[in-house]
Structure 1
Amino acid sequence: MSTPESIPHLPVIIVGGGQAGLSMSACLQQRGINHLVLEKHSALHVWRTRRWDNFCLVTPNWQCALPGHPYDGPEPHGFMKKDEINAWLDAFRRKVNPPLREGVTVHRVTPRPDGGFHVSTSDGEWTADQVVVASGGYHLPIVPRMAERLPAGIVQLHSEQYRNAGALPPGAVLVVGSGQSGAQIAEDLHLAGRTVHLAVGDAPRCARFYRGRDVVDWLADMGYYDMPVTAHPLREGVRDNTNHYVTGRDGGRDIDLRRFALEGMQLYGLMQDYRDGQLRFAPGLRDALDNADRIYNGINAAIDKHIADRGIAAPPPSVYEPVWQPDAECAELDPVAAGITSIIWCIGFSPDFRWVDAPVFNGRGDPVHVRGVAQQAGLYFLGLPWLHTWGSGRFSGIARDAGFLAERIAARQSQPQDERVLSC
């Protein structure tokens, strides 16, 4: 067994080699703070392994601004596709050139009685004065237990495993969930000519373009992306919100599930169960579609007010009117009789921070923090949705969050050891 004297020590260990971990490394390098990035797989692997072939950004390229690495391509108002995103991220990695160990699983991070942390990994033991958890919040794919009872002949995938329509067996496809991934995958299959059944959830939607500009541009001018979680009407509850569905595909457009229905896509309410050979759905499709449209029109109305208040010249306002309504909701569906040969579960991921052995989590297992700073002194979180602002889990806000944490880390690093322990 290793003795404390033989265990290598570092001022800072960063767990996670995605865009958050590399951003943290860039900010620490700027301040001359020695550190190490530990990555379970390979750096930035999520963008290569969890995205389908036709994936593209849903926010315009100009919002991509990692530390010292803004988007500088020819289409600031375009939407990078999967290969372009990976090329941009690879360039960021080369620019940062982080002190990185790939293929290293962190088994446990434990606070030490005398201050700092013990970090146990698949590649040995370390101690560190401070630890940044930059592994994101999307760890365990969510698939309901009822999936175990579905007919064995139906291929089941989680959204992270979907690549393209041609990789699925012939036949109809059921997509479960209408958040960003579900809506875009349903569209991808629909455009490929597949028969698509979509179980709709409570996800909101927004316009792609409104009154002559991308809605993101308007919201940026209105200060939405600078709003801290503490100023949001929902406060920390906003972290539980489902993202609005929209797409950047083919230059960007709305995703209108009602229009898909007119074109043959079959829509259902929230999937509840499978028994006696029948998929069962909650009778809430009409309400879900109406609520998504209400939010769509509400965002546009806020833009209208912004335009009016500032006297901005813009095309006239408009209100979305439904192009389709369900005549009656289908409560049951026999997947075999409907010819469904594939199911894609698009109901998200759950966090898994069990390896962080510190009293900083709420009853659901989510970290409790203030702008990424946990109550356990020297422990930080980065890259989580609404860590500080809407952009915290995206390319647009990580640089600001990483810079803030780097300042906190530098300030703590400059404290004498006895003061660090007392501050715990």
Structure 2
Amino acid sequence: MSNIDSIQTAAHYSVIVIGGGQAGLSVSYFLQQANIDHLVLEKHSVTHTWRTQRWDRFCLVTPNWQCALPGHAYDGADPHGFMKKDEIIAYLDAFIAKVNAPVLEGAAVTRVTRDAQARYIVTSTRGTFTADQIVVASGGYHTPIVPRMAERLPQSVVQVQSSEYRNADALPPGAVLVVGSGQSGAQIAEDLHLSGRKVHLAVGEAPRCARFYRGRDVVDWLADMRYYDMPVTDHPLREGVRDNTNHYVTGRDGGRDIDLRRFALEGMELFGRLEDFRDGKLRFAPNLRANLDDADDTYNRINASIDGFIEKHGIDAPPAARYEPLWQPSHERAELDLQASGIAAVVWCIGFTPDFGWLDAPVFNGRGYPSHMRGVTAVPGLYFVGLPWLHTWGSGRFSGVARDAQYIVDAICAERASAPDRVLLASPASRASITCA
């Protein structure tokens, strides 16, 4: 990585990339191939999130072969395994060294505006810069969601958000309430459960899928079915799929299903959606059975689509099977006395909201999400990359970000070629270095 320690105030770049995660570094990779001068501004340090916002036993939930950052496909000995946290960091470190991006770390962007000449003015904690074009690569998970009811919990109860959870021993002795059953919530609940902690889980509406089905990883089947190549415009939900919670499954111990019903048989206590806390009691919606059934319906529906693919193509595979519930709640508990339950900690796993308040551009919808077509906005010179379902399922993952970054850099080149007087505002020396293919 080409760290930049000192910057001249108001230095100009053809492109400024905001965010130094896998998306921003992927854009830098292709910008370098196009010989376009640029600067990557990173609030913390490159790939910071992978290093600081994952629990100790974290591992990938998709097989290693799907790790395909530009010029850096997984080449290890276990393509169908699931890299653990330290292995993921090693994979990223090798990518960082390979890209050698021009990065300014510790540069939190506080404002992006445009001047009368249509240049972007980028204000950061490490200086002010200008650019012809901006690529926002800071992701879409910025502000942890914690409900206001959390303010009413006793101070004796430790509260952490999923990005802060590390391991069971880091929490005080006693039972733990995990709120949310998406990908992080289900895996954190499992981590606590396997450590021997008493876990109460408030189950949300997250779907689930099988890890292995009919002799293969479900991801392998879906890849053959070209699901991961489906653009968001072809998805039945269209842009609505961006709001969907990820299916829960795990790569832990070689990969397996996460079955909350099995956990219930083993002593985990399941509830419906957490709705309130008052008079010393946690109050839950009576929707546990419905949420479990809906998750299983998705599980069986995905498997049925694989069955259809196998039949259509005459593939020799083990027989089909349908998941049947191992356990059903005999009744739905609407309340839980906090003190009597012995709950000493709460882990909030209900997601994040985007925060692009620093970007002054008319591209956001009512929920603060940017409107774009495959990362290209209606505002000249403004692009996004690394968002969930920006173009395909893999857009926010190692598997699909290279394709998106290449597309964005191609769009940058096309814009520069079509409007050179507007975008090429750098010095003559800098202009001469731009050779988009």
> Could you report, residue by residue, the CA deviation over 1:313-344 in whole angstroms, capped at 9, with x for unpaired residues?
00000000000000000000011100000000
Q: Is this contact kept in 2: 1:7–1:126, CA < 8 A? A: yes
- Aligned to 2:145, which of 142, 145, 149? 142
Q: Say whether residues 1:402 and 2:405 are aligned partners.
A: yes
Q: Say whether residues 1:195 and 2:198 are aligned partners.
A: yes
Q: Say whether residues 1:291 and 2:294 are aligned partners.
A: yes
Residues 159-168 or 411-420, more deviating: 411-420
TM-fit CA distance, 1:159: 0.5
Partners of 2:9 and 2:158 in 1: CA distance: 50
Paired residue for 2:221? 218
| Structure 1 gap segments, 5+ residues each | none
Secondary structure in structure 1 of the residue aligned to 2:338: coil
One-letter amino acid of the structure 2 residue matched with residue 47 of structure 1: W
TM-fit CA distance, 1:111: 2.1
Secondary structure in structure 1 of the residue aligned to 2:386: coil
Partners of 2:121 and 2:420 in 1: CA distance: 16
Q: Say whether residues 1:324 and 2:327 are aligned partners.
A: yes
TM-fit CA distance, 1:414: 2.7
Residues 401-410 or 5-14, more deviating: 5-14
| Structure 2 gap segments, 5+ residues each | 1-7, 425-437
Partners of 2:339 and 2:204 in 1: CA distance: 23
Q: Is this contact kept in 2: 1:179–1:244, CA < 8 A? A: yes
> Could you report, residue by residue, the CA deviation over 1:227-257 in whole angstroms, capped at 9, with x for unpaired residues?
0000000000000000000000000000000
Paired residue for 2:371? 368
Paired residue for 2:275? 272
Secondary structure in structure 2 of the residue aligned to 1:337: helix
TM-fit CA distance, 1:112: 2.4
TM-fit CA distance, 1:415: 3.5
TM-fit CA distance, 1:202: 0.0
- Aligned to 1:204, which of 203, 207, 212? 207
> Could you report, residue by residue, the CA deviation over 1:328-364 in whole angstroms, capped at 9, with x for unpaired residues?
0000001110000000000011100000100000011
Residues 162-171 or 199-208, more deviating: 162-171
Secondary structure in structure 2 of the residue aligned to 1:38: strand
Partners of 1:6 and 1:171 in 2: CA distance: 53
Partners of 2:105 and 2:324 in 1: CA distance: 51
The size of the alignment, in residue pairs, is: 417
- Aligned to 2:354, which of 351, 354, 371? 351
Q: Is this contact kept in 2: 1:371–1:387, CA < 8 A? A: yes
Paired residue for 1:340? 343
One-letter amino acid of the structure 1 residue matched with residue 260 of structure 2: L
Paired residue for 1:94? 97
- Aligned to 1:16, which of 16, 19, 35? 19
- Aligned to 1:181, which of 147, 160, 184? 184
- Give me the CA root mean square deviation: 1.2
Q: Say whether residues 1:53 and 2:56 are aligned partners.
A: yes
Q: Is this contact kept in 2: 1:201–1:270, CA < 8 A? A: yes
Q: Say whether residues 1:40 and 2:39 are aligned partners.
A: no
Partners of 2:372 and 2:132 in 1: CA distance: 19
Partners of 2:35 and 2:9 in 1: CA distance: 25
Paired residue for 2:381? 378
- Evaluate the alpha carbon distance shift between residue 419 and residue 196 of structure 1 in structure 2; reply closer, same or farther with a 3 A threshold: same
Partners of 1:43 and 1:77 in 2: CA distance: 27
Partners of 2:287 and 2:116 in 1: CA distance: 53
Secondary structure in structure 2 of the residue aligned to 1:327: coil
Calculate the TM-score normalised by the size of structure 1. Answer: 0.97
- Aligned to 2:233, which of 224, 230, 235? 230
Q: Which runs of 4+ in 1 moved over 6 A?
A: none
> Could you report, residue by residue, the CA deviation over 1:247-286 in whole angstroms, capped at 9, with x for unpaired residues?
0000000000000000000000000000111100000000
One-letter amino acid of the structure 2 residue matched with residue 7 of structure 1: A
Paired residue for 1:166? 169
TM-fit CA distance, 1:416: 4.1
Partners of 1:221 and 1:68 in 2: CA distance: 23
One-letter amino acid of the structure 2 residue matched with residue 328 of structure 1: H
Partners of 1:113 and 1:211 in 2: CA distance: 61
Secondary structure in structure 1 of the residue aligned to 2:307: helix
Paired residue for 2:4? none
> Could you report, residue by residue, the CA deviation over 1:124-173 in whole angstroms, capped at 9, with x for unpaired residues?
11110000000000001111110000111100000011000111111000
One-letter amino acid of the structure 1 residue matched with residue 131 of structure 2: A
Q: Is this contact kept in 1: 2:202–2:274, CA < 8 A? A: yes
Paired residue for 2:264? 261
Partners of 1:340 and 1:124 in 2: CA distance: 46
Paired residue for 2:431? none
Partners of 1:373 and 1:390 in 2: CA distance: 17
One-letter amino acid of the structure 1 residue matched with residue 193 of structure 2: H
Q: Is this contact kept in 2: 1:210–1:300, CA < 8 A? A: yes
Partners of 2:15 and 2:292 in 1: CA distance: 48
Partners of 1:111 and 1:75 in 2: CA distance: 48
Identity between Structure 1 and Structure 2 (%): 70
Q: Is this contact kept in 2: 1:11–1:413, CA < 8 A? A: no
Secondary structure in structure 2 of the residue aligned to 1:173: strand
Paired residue for 1:110? 113
Partners of 2:125 and 2:245 in 1: CA distance: 35
One-letter amino acid of the structure 2 residue matched with residue 266 of structure 1: E
Q: Is this contact kept in 2: 1:20–1:402, CA < 8 A? A: yes
Secondary structure in structure 2 of the residue aligned to 1:374: coil
Partners of 1:179 and 1:57 in 2: CA distance: 15
Paired residue for 2:435? none
Partners of 1:256 and 1:37 in 2: CA distance: 42
One-letter amino acid of the structure 2 residue matched with residue 143 of structure 1: V
Partners of 1:73 and 1:260 in 2: CA distance: 33
Paired residue for 1:78? 81
Q: Is this contact kept in 1: 2:9–2:128, CA < 8 A? A: no
Partners of 2:361 and 2:307 in 1: CA distance: 47
Calculate the TM-score normalised by the size of structure 2. Answer: 0.94
